[in-house]
Amino acid sequence: MKAKQLTLFVAVMASLAAAPLVYPVTAFAADAATIQPRDGWYNKALVDFDFMRQNVSIPPKKGVMIIDSRPAARQYDPGHIPGAINIPDSQFDKLVDKLPADKATLLLFYCGGLECMLSHNSAFKAEKLGYTNIKVYPAGSPEWKAKGAQISVSAAYIKKLMEDKAPYVLIDARPKRVADKGMIPTAINISDTEFDKNVDKLPADKATPLIYYCGGLECVLSDNSAEKAKKAGYTNVLTYPPGYPEWEKMHGAPAAAGAPAGAAAGATTSSAALVPGKEKGSVTVDSFQAVWKANPGSVMLVDVRDPKEVASGMIKGSVNIPMNELEKKIATLPTDKPVVFVCGTGARSGEAFDTVKLLGGKVQASFLDADVKFNADGSYTMTAKK
């Protein structure tokens, strides 16, 4: 009896082994439609949403260029991936100078989704020019938007909204002291660090388009505020990453909201080597760099950028106290030597100075009103604001 059962078991197992495995088609249909290469695609390197998300960053990730291959006015201007530049495929040859000089730069092309060939066409053209690290995000802008990722707009789009008198709220996320020098027309100022105190300035209708901007591609304040607005329930939150610097370059500086500050009146520092700058509380770049080179221990340099920013580089010898934590940590600042605040654009460093002047007692505070590029090895380049 046992022998017969064993023989039956072996026969059944043999028949199962010979039978083909069948999986439900529906289980993989969606994935196959998304990732299966198509004729004419740049099939050498296709990437998905997660890969894009890892490479989309404000400030832009070093060694990466994101390229929107769609037409400008109708598609790129009203909504694109943050940090992406626009090189419409139809104008690729005319706009080649927008591509990086380093042909090993990671180029990420995208356009209008799985039916759009523009990004693939442009990728082939870039390859012919000698670029060696090219990838295409075939799902493109439709998937990016559908997954709730941040969408950015261009200066041209904001200008059109103004001209059309369309409903929107443009928000300058920089500190008041910076915004008072000049804002984009129609903008209101809600400093990112005071977002919670000024929620009442936002529209009651949470479907109203909100457009946040700040001090350029190195500034994260607009991104921070945009996330806070989404958490507050606003459903149409956009950013304009190039911000005020690009707008001023394109359209000129509007009249400042407040009178310009006096030439460094009231700048506070006990070091004769730190020379007051044009802005109240600032010190000149030249004098700071001279002190930092000769005797860095004579001052405390405080980087007030967010942890995400300093992770990619900060000045060797500086300490990080994010602006939104400064008020709680003022007591940790020394009073026996100057404290100099620094950030990427001079906006938050100036706000840090204002905060410490108001609450810091005997802290000898000053700040750098400068554009600063931070390198991973601790080096930096610093250019004074004009």
Task: Note the pLDDT tens digit of each residue in 65-85.
Answer: 999 999 999 999 999 999 999
Q: Which CATH number fits domain 285-384: 1.20.1630.10, 3.20.20.70, 3.40.250.10, 3.50.50.60?
A: 3.40.250.10
Can you name the residues that pair with 342 across neighbouring β-strands? 303
227 vs 234: CA distance, rounded Å? 10
Q: Identify residue 263 by its one-letter amino acid code.
A: A
- Confidence at residue 102, expressed as pLDDT on a 0 to 100 scale: 97
Can you name the residues that pair with 210 across neighbouring β-strands? 169, 237
* Pairing of β 370-374 and β 380-384: antiparallel
Mean pLDDT of 139-144: 97
72 vs 128: CA distance, rounded Å? 24
Q: Where in the chain is the domain with CATH 3.40.250.10?
A: 44-146, 153-251, 285-384
- Confidence at residue 361, expressed as pLDDT on a 0 to 100 scale: 82
High-pLDDT (> 90) share of the chain, %: 75
User: Which is higher by pLDDT, 127 or 275?
Assistant: 127
Residue 277 · residue 267 · CB < 8 Å? yes
HSE-CB of 6 using CA atoms within 13 angstroms: 3
DSSP category for residue 194: G
Fold of domain 153-251: Oxidized Rhodanese; domain 1 (3.40.250)
Assigned CATH for 44-146: 3.40.250.10
Task: Note the pLDDT tens digit of each residue in 171-219.
Answer: 999 999 999 999 999 999 999 999 999 999 999 999 999 999 999 999 9
Residue 28 · residue 46 · CB < 8 Å? no
Residue 211 · residue 150 · CB < 8 Å? no
Reported as a pLDDT band with limits 50, 70 and 90, residue 34 is low
